[in-house]
Structure 1
């Protein structure tokens, strides 16, 4: 019986994963950026969409589950970068309302993100179903993005502002998220996903901020997940966790941190620090937390469509590698399905990041690959990859340069000097 090309490629990917798993100092972190368009209730057959976009999300989670170390693969940790689902359930959350915040109509954004009960009946249950595939099998983190808050509304500053102008959001006030009851009900620190898990070592704000420890490649790693534009209390909590686990190589995941030009700038449409003095912009997070703690060596983020990479030295003179990935705006799957729309329909197309740490050799590094569980191909294997996505993400790059944005190696030049040589590990 002849095997299809798709099945052969799938088998090759799995074989590659298992081969990497044979190296005891090699392991992979699976990074799930912005899954909101898969969960969006309007992107399902029940709403007369051409296909169930949620199946692409479930396909991602199935792939991750099948390639975990506990299942014979090489994935040792999983991090979701937020915007897990799309919609909100409230117009404005009670906490912000009690503090004097007021929501004003926003003709453009209200039409797309009006509160709906379907976030609780469709989108959140689907997210839970996906993460149940890996629960109890691997340490993982989920941080809230702006869409995961109970409300996302336009703040009335200045009072009685001018007519909405998408080119100048300050005319009305900044889009602002608030309330985390929805997020806590699925990913809070008291949910079955995390309660009593030995690797889930700390949490704050009911699990909106969280910390995990995992052991892989001969090292013990600390991972800290921070909520959207984290407030001062979140940064203070994170600093206390770093002190408690001093010296462990540390990864930070947060939703909003870097744009696709590699700048630590918020999206001008939604900058929580501009609306609320308690919150911090990406640059503030760098200044107050990341640059101040030498054990932080890697930062992962989503939110801004596309991809970017930058390296900066912290105050100790050591490099911090900062990586953006967000594929929510990719809609080739909608085009494949002949979806008719007056505007491009972002889905995500199954793309996720696989970051393979190779820590045992003379030159430690991280091989960054981008893989679609829908097309069952890495970015470099998809012949039309640049044709599909370059124009909307990085139009000034050549095709080759664009491909290098999604498959590259991070040289961890001083990793062993900072964190020691890897401990001996029994081959898996």
Structure 2
């Protein structure tokens, strides 16, 4: 009789007794458990084109397959199709690892285990994975039960040559796997469905030996769910939570099968941090779940895990030949089966694996022979700096750290108060200098300040006929309050009409400027030196409350604008050679019109660099061009 039912009652989730705790014993491939973290991490396997350094990767989760391995009713085909999919799509989906959640088979017999053994051989050496015992795979008892057909097929000896395999408990029923993905290292604990006190001691030892690694706990029985998808700890799950999970802040995600329907919940550990507990099981669905898998797509850039659930077996079939039940089981798209989990990974892992702050880079590290001007607002680049929030005095000098003589002088517009521009320690995480200027500009004669090049600065006359790159770090306030339409980040003064340009919106606007529209779209408009034209680039709506790296790149023929290393959509292809500078000053902090200023910038401005060539994104001021 199957002991798994939909939404089981408390009496059906009774806790099996466990023996007294035993001393920690290291697994066969885990001599490192005696103390300290190992010197090097496993690579996660090179098969299948997996890229461990990519910030986006997937964890494949395979729940109960027991109805596919049920004596003479067995049909391995769905699982074999799933394994072929994982092999074929490993590179495309960047699949780091697969974890099975237990109940591989229905009765745990030699025949069923043998069939499952053959199916799993399809991914041996192709996709690293873990397997754990569910209640249908063994004859009862906890992980001290001794020998079994399951252990002979899926014990430590199966994984001994796998790069991700870290070791197993002495009984062989619990294992850990150490992988690299998303540019960092992770630990997966695969725990028996009834882990003993000895097993818990072993698991704690594994965590203690890897104190800086985020941990994913996989086991067969941890939470169960209501029809709504709201999940709750089972009796066994409560024990595992109290004895292991809640006191180890490294555990941020748990995955289990056993019960249906699927669901999830968020628990608070002893450190007050979230632990996401998910149940995945589809054996009650058509064809015993048809080898249904979940892909947990980790995105370390967006700080999110996107989850999808589907059957590769049905996906591979001719759509015209799918039966109704096959068609409705191809992919599950309800909120329980397709969802996203927001996790700020750096913040969540801060307590055990803090991200070391990047050190400031000296000017010499970012100035080259093609750098014509570089300004920064720490003590190396700005005179008269005070503490955070201190007004920058009028007349303060932002030195051109290339030595080319393009120093900028601060002046407040009209009757603006000193607080209209202040010094700030805020900065983009990839910015060379750990400082910026906070501009509190707005419309009207008393809301702005500018940094203006001297009358004889070389930058005022440079034409950039062989190309240019202008980079600047910017952050817009959140909330973004007031009317700041068409505020400027920088510009070269000068009326384009005076240069004989006839194509623009107004002959009174400057010959080059970077501005922000009322919708917070970035606008770069330039009047080229060689053409009578005003090619203009437009971005998407810029975010507030977040630092951005902006780059304008011209290759002597056309201009491309980047935001955080990503090319924006609306970059004109019309010819654009050089900048029609007219000997008028280069200015930061506002946009001129008819040689005057009526509105200052609102937000933060960090390092600014101008180069006399078109740089590639990987050459930008930000590490890796992002």
Deviation at 1:413, TM superposition (A): 3.1
State the alpha-carbon separation in 2 of the partners of residues 68 and 417 from structure 1: 27
Residues 258, 383 of structure 1: CA spacing in aligned structure 2 closer, same or farther, 3 A cutoff?
Answer: farther
Aligned length: 300
Query: For the residues of structure 2 that align with 1:136 and 1:226, how far apart are their CA atoms?
Result: 22
Using the TM superposition, give the Cα deviation of residue 386 of structure 1 relative to its aligned residue in structure 2, in angstroms. Answer: 13
Find the aligned partners of 2:127 and 2:623 in 1 and give their Cα distance: 18
Change in CA separation of 1:203 and 1:145 when aligned onto 2, cut-off 3 Å: same
Please state if 1:132 is matched with 2:121. Answer: yes
Aligned to 2:533: none
Q: 1:288 maps to what in 2?
A: 243
Distance 1:410 1:236 in 2: 30
Look up the match of 2:100: 80
Match of 1:120 in 2: 110
Report deviation, 1:198.
3.8
**Relative to 1, partners in 2 of residues 1:234 and 1:24: Cα closer, same or farther, differing over 3 Å?**
same
Is the CA contact (8 Å cut-off) linking 2:58 and 2:93 kept in structure 1? no
Query: Which residue, out of 223, 235, 238, partners 1:258?
Result: 223
After superposition, the Cα gap between the structure-2 partners of 1:367 and 1:73, relative to the gap in structure 1 and judged at 3 Å, is closer
* Contiguous gaps of at least 5 residues in structure 2: 1-47, 317-321, 359-621
Q: Verify: 1:370 aligned to 2:400, yes or no.
A: no
For residues 86 and 260 of structure 1, do their structure 2 counterparts lie closer, same or farther at Cα, with a shift above 3 Å needed?
same
The answer to whether the Cα contact below 8 Å between 1:85 and 1:148 also exists between their aligned partners in 2 is: yes
Tell me which of 148, 152, 156 is aligned to 2:137. Answer: 148
Using the TM superposition, give the Cα deviation of residue 218 of structure 1 relative to its aligned residue in structure 2, in angstroms. 1.0
CA distance in 1, matches of 2:86, 2:348: 32
Q: What residue is the counterpart of 2:300 in the other structure?
A: 359
2:152 equivalent to 1:185: yes
Distance 2:51 2:185 in 1: 17
Q: Is residue 66 from structure 1 mapped to residue 66 from structure 2 by the alignment?
A: no
Q: CA deviation at 1:350?
A: 2.9
The 1:205/1:20 distance shift into structure 2, 3 A limit, reads: closer
Computed over aligned residues only, the root mean square deviation of the Cα atoms, in angstroms, reads 3.5
Q: How does 1:289-328 map to 2 (within 5 A)?
A: 289-328=244-283
Correspondence for 1:43: 73
Instruction: State the shift of 1:200 in Å.
Output: 1.2
- Whether contact under 8 Å (1:139, 1:212) holds in the other structure is no
Considering only CA atoms, is the larger Rg found in Structure 1 or Structure 2? 2
* Secondary structure of the structure 1 residue equivalent to 2:166: strand
Gaps of 5+ in 1: 1-17, 45-52, 89-118, 154-174, 267-280, 334-346, 390-399
**Helix, strand or coil at the partner of 2:223:** coil
| SS of residue in 2 equivalent to 1:404 | coil
Whether 1:208 aligns to 2:185 is: no
**Where do 1:97-112 residues align within 5 Å?**
none
Q: Any conservation in 2 of the 1:188–1:206 contact (CA below 8 Å)?
A: no
**CA–CA distance in structure 1, aligned partners of residues 126 and 76 of structure 2:** 22
1:234-283 per-residue CA deviation (whole Å, 9 max, x = no partner) reads 111000000001110110100011112311115xxxxxxxxxxxxxx110
The match for 1:235 among 200, 203, 225 is 200
Inter-partner Cα distance in structure 2 for 1:221 and 1:79: 13
Relative to structure 1, the CA distance from residue 248 to residue 177 in structure 2 (aligned partners, 3 Å threshold; closer, same or farther) is closer
Residue 481 of structure 2 is matched in structure 1 by: none
Deviation at 1:375, TM superposition (A): 2.0
Q: Secondary structure at the match of 1:237?
A: helix
Helix, strand or coil: the match of 1:67?
helix
- The answer to whether the Cα contact below 8 Å between 1:258 and 1:301 also exists between their aligned partners in 2 is yes
Tell me how far apart the structure 1 counterparts of residues 105 and 253 of structure 2 sit (CA, whole Å): 25
Aligned partners of 2:299 and 2:50: how far apart in 1?
9
The answer to which structure has the higher helix fraction is: 1
2:50/2:95 contact within 8 Å kept: no
Matches within 5 A, 1:380-391: none
